[in-house]
A = this chain, B = another copy of it.
C-alpha cells in the first residue's frame, strides 16, 4: 500500500496544522500523570493506596478465565516493576483485597465491534475498586490501574482518584503488514500486549501482498507453498494469535488484498491473472500490474473455496478484501477483458472492480461476514454494513458516512512514513468541522495506524510502531479535547519505557544495531548522532537508497528513529530561547548540546572510517563538524548581542542547505533549529 501522491499532500497539510497551537484543555500535566490514553474523566483526590507485598486482587460479579488471567498477568507486571513477591491467589473476600474488580457480565468470549469497554476506577487510601459491565471493560481498567503506579521515597503507591472512562471510537486498530516482511508469531504477540496496554482493540492483519502470501490454506496449499518463501502462518499459529488477542480484548480482522496487490496469488495460479504469466514473488516496493481477472469464472471458483475456509478460521465478523491501488493496466491491455466490459456495459475499471466486489460479497455474506475494503471499494449501491477504510482522508470518510456507510480513518496514521508522533496525534477521524449529523458521525467508527512493512524486520518493527502508535491510540480513545502535544510527549516517554516490560524492543535494539555497525568500536558517538538524525520521510527511502524486500535492514537508517529525541529537545530550546522563554536556561541547554556534538566528532570520524557498513554515511561526520561550527558561531554572536553580517548569513545558510540533505537515507534534523539561530544572529529572518 503506497499512496504516494495523496498521502504526501495530506501529510504536508497536517504538518502545517501541527504548528498551529491548539486550545489546551488538559494543560496541567499533573492532571494526566502517566496515563495514556487519558481517560474520559479523572478526579484526583488526596490520599494514596500503598502497594506492598500484601497487595492482592479479588473479584465479584461475573468473572471468566480471561479476566482472571489478565489480572494474574497484571500482578506479574507489578512484581516486575516493584521486585515484590505478590500473591498468585485471588482472595475470596473482596473487602480485604487491594484491588477489587466487579464485572456484571463476562461479555463476548471473542470480542466484537461495539463491545462495552467502559469502566470506572475508584481508588481510596484503603482499596481500589474497578467496576465494569464486561470483562473487556475490566481489562481496559486494569491497564489504567497499572499506569497509575507511582513511586517516591515512601514506596510504591496509587494516588487516590475517581476515573470514569469509555472509548470515543469503537474501532481502534493497528494494521500489521505480514505480507512484505513476514513477522514471526512472537513479534505479533508482544505487539498485541503493547496494543492492550494502550487500549487498542483491533489487529488488522494484512496477510497477502505482491511480496508474500502468508496464510496456510488447507484447501489451496499451493498458494502459500509457492507464494511465501516458506514464511507463512500455520492455521494452528493463526488460531493461537486469535486466542491471544481475544484474551486481551482485541479483535483480529484479516485482510486478503485483491484484485490488485495479488502477485503472490498468481505465482501458483497464473490462470486467474489478467495478463500472461508466469509470475514470481515480487521483491521490490511499489504498485505493480498483476491483477486478478474479474471476467474469469476460475477466479471466483478459487476465491469461493478460499473465503469459505478463511471465514471459519477467523471468527471476527469483518473480512477485509483490500481493493486498493489497482491501476488497471492489465485490464486495459487484455482484449478479452475489454470485450467483456463492452458486452456487460461496464464503462470503467472502477465499475469493473465493483463488479468483482459484488461477486465476492455473497461469498462473505454466506458465512455471516461483513465486507471491508479501502476507499476504492466504495460504491453507493453496496450494502450499508460495508466498512470503508480511508487512506484518502476525513473528507472521503465523511462523504461515505453521508451516504450511509461506516468507515475508519487511516490517512494521517501511516506510521511507516516516519513522521513524528505529533503529526499523527492532531489527526482526528471526526474533526469538529466535519459537518456530519450525529447519526452520520456514528458511522465514523474510528481509525487504524498502519505498519506497512516495506522496511521493517523483526529487529526494527517495534521501533517503527512504538511509541508513536500510543499517541494514535490516545486520539482514538480519549475525548476530542485532549490534544496538548507537549503533555502527550511527556506521557509518551513514560509509556515507551513501560512497554519494555511487555518485551518490546524499540529502545534496546537501537544500541544493538549501532554495536553491529560500529564493528566493536565505542558506540557513544554514534548514539549522539542517532539522537539528532531521522530517516527520510514519506516514500523517499526507496528513491534515495534502493533496496528490496530481501535486503538487510541493519543500516544507520534502520537504527535511526522518527522523532529523534535530541533534535526535538534542541529545536524546542531554540524556539523558546528566541521567543525569550527562559532565555538563559535554554541558551545553556543549546550550548551543552553543541558541546556534546563536538565531543563526539573525533570518535564518529574514526568509526565511520573503519566501518565499511557506515561508508555511505561518512559525509554526516563532516556535516556534523560544520553544523557544530555554525551553531557555535551563531550562539557566540547571540550571547555577545552582536550581529553577524549578511555575507556570513548567506554563506552559512547555503552550507546548512547542503547539510540538511539526506545522506545514507537519514537527515540531520537539528538543521532547522540551527538555521533559526543563524537568522537570529544575523538580525534577519531570511530563509527561515
A residues in contact (CB < 8 Å) with B: 76, 79-85, 88, 151-156, 186, 493-494, 497, 500-501, 505, 507-509, 511-512, 515-517, 519-520, 547-548, 550-552, 554-555, 609-613, 615
Complex CA gap A611/B610 in Å reads: 41
Known A550-B88, A551-B85; contact A516-B80, beta-carbon cutoff 8 A? yes
A85 touches B547 (CB 8 A): yes
A552 contact from B80, B509, B548, B613, Cβ within 8 A:
B80
A497 contact from B497, B515, B611, Cβ within 8 A:
B515
B501 touches A516 (CB 8 A): yes
A552 touches B612 (CB 8 A): no
List 10 tightest A-B contacts by C-beta distance, closest first: A79-B552, A508-B508, A83-B555, A83-B613, A155-B612, A80-B554, A508-B512, A85-B551, A80-B552, A151-B612
B520 touches A497 (CB 8 A): yes
Q: Which residues of B contact A611 (CB under 8 A)?
A: 151
Complex CA gap A497/B555 in Å reads: 17
State how many angstroms separate the Cβ of A588 from the closest Cβ of chain B. Answer: 18
Complex CA gap A91/B512 in Å reads: 33
Q: Which residues of B contact A519 (CB under 8 A)?
A: 151
CB-based nearest B residue for A501: B516
State how many angstroms separate the Cβ of A530 from the closest Cβ of chain B. Answer: 15
CB-based nearest B residue for A236: B236
A156 contact from B81, B156, B508, B612, Cβ within 8 A:
B612
A552 touches B85 (CB 8 A): yes
CB-based nearest B residue for A612: B155
Known A151-B611, A515-B500; contact A554-B509, beta-carbon cutoff 8 A? no
A82 touches B612 (CB 8 A): yes
Q: Which residues of B contact A515 (CB under 8 A)?
A: 497, 500, 507
A512 touches B507 (CB 8 A): yes
Known A500-B512, A508-B509; contact A83-B554, beta-carbon cutoff 8 A? yes
State how many angstroms separate the Cβ of A649 from the closest Cβ of chain B. Answer: 37
For this chain, the copies found in one complex come to 2
Since A80-B516, A151-B612, A508-B508 are in contact, a sample of 15 more A-B pairs with Cβ atoms closer than 8 Å, ordered by chain A residue number, is A79-B551, A79-B554, A83-B517, A84-B552, A85-B547, A88-B550, A151-B611, A152-B610, A153-B609, A154-B612, A155-B612, A155-B615, A505-B508, A508-B512, A511-B511
A554 contact from B81, B151, B497, B555, Cβ within 8 A:
B81
Complex CA gap A76/B552 in Å reads: 8
State how many angstroms separate the Cβ of A156 from the closest Cβ of chain B. Answer: 5
Complex CA gap A153/B605 in Å reads: 12
> Could you give 20 example pairs across A and B, Cβ below 8 Å?
A79-B552, A81-B613, A82-B612, A83-B554, A83-B555, A83-B613, A85-B552, A151-B610, A151-B611, A151-B613, A153-B609, A153-B610, A154-B612, A186-B186, A497-B516, A497-B520, A505-B508, A507-B512, A508-B508, A508-B509
State how many angstroms separate the Cβ of A541 from the closest Cβ of chain B. Answer: 14
Complex CA gap A555/B519 in Å reads: 31
CB-based nearest B residue for A556: B83
A548 touches B610 (CB 8 A): no
State how many angstroms separate the Cβ of A283 from the closest Cβ of chain B. Answer: 10
CB-based nearest B residue for A557: B83
State how many angstroms separate the Cβ of A664 from the closest Cβ of chain B. Answer: 10
CB-based nearest B residue for A85: B551
Complex CA gap A552/B552 in Å reads: 36
Q: Which residues of B contact A613 (CB under 8 A)?
A: 81-83, 151
CB-based nearest B residue for A505: B508
A516 touches B81 (CB 8 A): yes
Complex CA gap A511/B510 in Å reads: 12
CB-based nearest B residue for A615: B155
A550 contact from B80, B85, B551, B610, Cβ within 8 A:
B85
State how many angstroms separate the Cβ of A501 from the closest Cβ of chain B. Answer: 6
Highest count of chain B CB atoms <10 Å: which of A76, A83, A500, A515 = A83
State how many angstroms separate the Cβ of A496 from the closest Cβ of chain B. Answer: 10
Q: Which residues of B contact A610 (CB under 8 A)?
A: 151-153
State how many angstroms separate the Cβ of A240 from the closest Cβ of chain B. Answer: 11
Q: Which residues of B contact A612 (CB under 8 A)?
A: 82, 151-152, 154-156
State how many angstroms separate the Cβ of A288 from the closest Cβ of chain B. Answer: 20
CB-based nearest B residue for A153: B609
B520 touches A494 (CB 8 A): yes
State how many angstroms separate the Cβ of A520 from the closest Cβ of chain B. Answer: 6
Q: Which residues of B contact A554 (CB under 8 A)?
A: 79-81, 83
State how many angstroms separate the Cβ of A596 from the closest Cβ of chain B. Answer: 13
B516 touches A500 (CB 8 A): yes
Q: Which residues of B contact A615 (CB under 8 A)?
A: 155
Q: Which residues of B contact A80 (CB under 8 A)?
A: 516, 552, 554
A548 touches B85 (CB 8 A): yes
State how many angstroms separate the Cβ of A94 from the closest Cβ of chain B. Answer: 23
State how many angstroms separate the Cβ of A275 from the closest Cβ of chain B. Answer: 26
State how many angstroms separate the Cβ of A459 from the closest Cβ of chain B. Answer: 8
B83 touches A552 (CB 8 A): yes
Q: Which residues of B contact A85 (CB under 8 A)?
A: 547-548, 550-552
